[in-house]
Amino acid sequence: MALIKWSDSFSVNVVEIDKQHQKLVGMINDLDDAMRQGKGKDVLGKIVNGLISYTGTHFKTEERYFDQFGYPEANSHKKEHSDFVAKVSEFKDGFEKGKIGLTIKVMDFLSDWLQNHIKGVDKKYGPFFNDKGLK
């Protein structure tokens, strides 16, 4: 069963970004499935790397629009992104060195962070972007 179920409550009302968020939700669900199926470190590592890489692409997309439109809450939003990247990089290093396992606790952290972030700060820029013509 999927860890996160996409619904309209996640929509920021910008098609490109909703698609990216859907992809991120899908990747977290894939990672959760693989973890629960007891897949090996190599398989999990590849999914984690893919997730980190796509998260970076996604954050860059949002931040490019922040800069382009002069979004007033850009700095605090970017800080949330960089804090998350730092935390996940720390996890990745520990995972690769065999110090940290991929557990339900880790999955809950990723899942909670993404859902809270999208429904909290991401949704806030929706109307601002829409006013600038981005839909």
Footprint of ligand FEO (CB under 6 A): 21, 58-59, 62, 77, 81, 117-118, 122
Rounded to a whole number of angstroms, the minimum distance from the CB of residue 77 to ligand FEO is 6
Rounded to a whole number of angstroms, the minimum distance from the CB of residue 97 to ligand FEO is 28
Rounded to a whole number of angstroms, the minimum distance from the CB of residue 20 to ligand FEO is 7
HEC assignment per residue over the chain: CCCCCCCHHHCCCCHHHHHHHHHHHHHHHHHHHHHHCCCCHHHHHHHHHHHHHHHHHHHHHHHHHHHHHCCCCHHHHHHHHHHHHHHHHHHHHHHHCCCCCCCHHHHHHHHHHHHHHHHHHHHHHHHHHHHCCCC
Residue number of the CB atom closest to ligand FEO: 122
Q: Between 21 and 71, whose beta carbon lies closer to ligand FEO? A: 21
Q: Between 22 and 103, whose beta carbon lies closer to ligand FEO? A: 22
Q: Between 8 and 42, whose beta carbon lies closer to ligand FEO? A: 8
